[in-house]
């Protein structure tokens, strides 16, 4: 596996692959790799001749600079893992390489980017679109792999791909969970063992809520999930929205759509760490 840090070298390396008609898979990451990333990389390796994994902690998607400062950075360990997973190229550029000038482009895909994470983290999805569009232009992949844990992110990126006419396939990959049910995330490393245990109540409540939907209204289920999670010491729900899985617009009745997903963000622990998860009710 090659570790590349400049766009020029990346493009030179990929030019040959493009010329020879090789298929290219891209796995964008911010590093601090875990089993969730492993599943994306392994899938890309299975489905493509060349797999590029980008490791770039993108500053433009962090509206909260303390969140950026405490994000785990583990480049050497990440490269060792990528070698094991079978990646062809690890692309780990500097911030100056990616943004020699401030990126002033504005992306707007409401409601996908304006609700939930978009409402609570203003500018977040604009930053995601900035970096992901740059990576798509640099790598020109046939397929790009994203974890479904960031359910809303995939919906926003799909809108951007349609808008800008990128010719590639977005491949959503299932959430990988710890044994306790907690969705794997780079942020989990910031939790103590006890907090990890506490955080597992999030998915447990989401799973139980699928049983309640038979008898209860959508709004009751929504409120019950929030109440159950808030009752756990150390957890505090920021929002729980039940939305159409395609448009991400709120739904108010179980019969309103054939694709219904509940998306949650919860603060966990004393720091506190912001965790996101989701559950599919229909579709």
Q: Interface residues with ligand PAF (CB under 6 A)? A: 28-30, 58, 61, 128, 131-132, 150, 153
β 2-4/89-91 pair status: parallel
Residue 224: strand, helix, or coil: helix
CB of 29 to ligand PAF, least distance (A): 5
CB of 160 to ligand PAF, least distance (A): 11
Residue 203: strand, helix, or coil: helix
CB of 197 to ligand PAF, least distance (A): 25
**Closest chain position to ligand PAF (CB):** 28
Residue 216: strand, helix, or coil: coil
> Which residue, 73 or 210, has its beta carbon nearer to ligand PAF?
73
d(CA 146, CA 172): 5
The beta-carbon contacts of 158-161 under 8 Å, at least 24 apart in sequence, are 159/109, 159/112, 159/113, 160/107, 160/109, 160/129, 160/132, 160/133, 161/136
> Which residue, 78 or 228, has its beta carbon nearer to ligand PAF?
78
CB of 103 to ligand PAF, least distance (A): 13
> Which residue, 62 or 203, has its beta carbon nearer to ligand PAF?
62
Annotated catalytic residues are 37
CB of 223 to ligand PAF, least distance (A): 29
d(CA 65, CA 76): 24
> Which residue, 169 or 197, has its beta carbon nearer to ligand PAF?
169
d(CA 187, CA 272): 11
DSSP secondary structure letter of residue 180? T
> Which residue, 61 or 88, has its beta carbon nearer to ligand PAF?
61
Residue 207: strand, helix, or coil: helix
- Strand order in 273-282's β-sheet? 235-244, 260-268, 273-282
Specify whether the CB–CB gap between 134 and 97 falls below 8 A. no
């Amino acid at each position: 596996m090659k570790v590349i840090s400049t766009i020029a070298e990346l493009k030179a390396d990929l030019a040959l692959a493009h010329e020879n008609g090789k298929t290219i898979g891209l796995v964008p990451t911010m590093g601090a790799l875990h089993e969730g990333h492993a599943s994306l990389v392994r899938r890309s390796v299975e489905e493509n001749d060349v797999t590029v994994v980008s490791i770039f902690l993108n500053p433009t998607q962090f509206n909260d600079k303390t969140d950026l400062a405490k994000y785990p950075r583990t480049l050497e360990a990440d490269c060792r893992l990528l070698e094991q997973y079978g990646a062809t190229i690890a692309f780990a550029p500097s911030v100056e390489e990616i943004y020699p000038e401030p990126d002033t482009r504005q992306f707007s895909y409401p409601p996908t980017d304006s609700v939930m994470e978009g409402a609570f983290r203003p500018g977040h999805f604009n930053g995601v679109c900035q970096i992901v569009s740059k990576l798509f232009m640099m790598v020109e992949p046939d397929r790009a792999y994203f974890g479904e844990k960031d359910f809303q992110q995939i919906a926003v990126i799909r809108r951007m791909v349609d808008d800008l006419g990128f010719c590639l396939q977005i491949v959503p990959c299932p959430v990988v969970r710890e044994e306790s049910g907690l969705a794997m995330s780079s942020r989990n490393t910031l939790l103590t063992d006890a907090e990890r245990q506490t955080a597992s109540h999030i998915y447990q409540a989401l799973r139980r809520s699928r049983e309640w939907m038979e008898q209860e209204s959508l709004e009751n289920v929504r409120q019950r999930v929030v109440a159950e999670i808030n009752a756990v010491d150390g957890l505090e729900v920021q929002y729980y929205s039940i939305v159409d899985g395609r448009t991400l617009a709120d739904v108010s009745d179980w019969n309103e759509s054939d694709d219904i997903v509940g998306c949650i963000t919860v603060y966990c622990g004393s720091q506190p760490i912001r965790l996101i998860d989701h559950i599919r009710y229909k579709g």
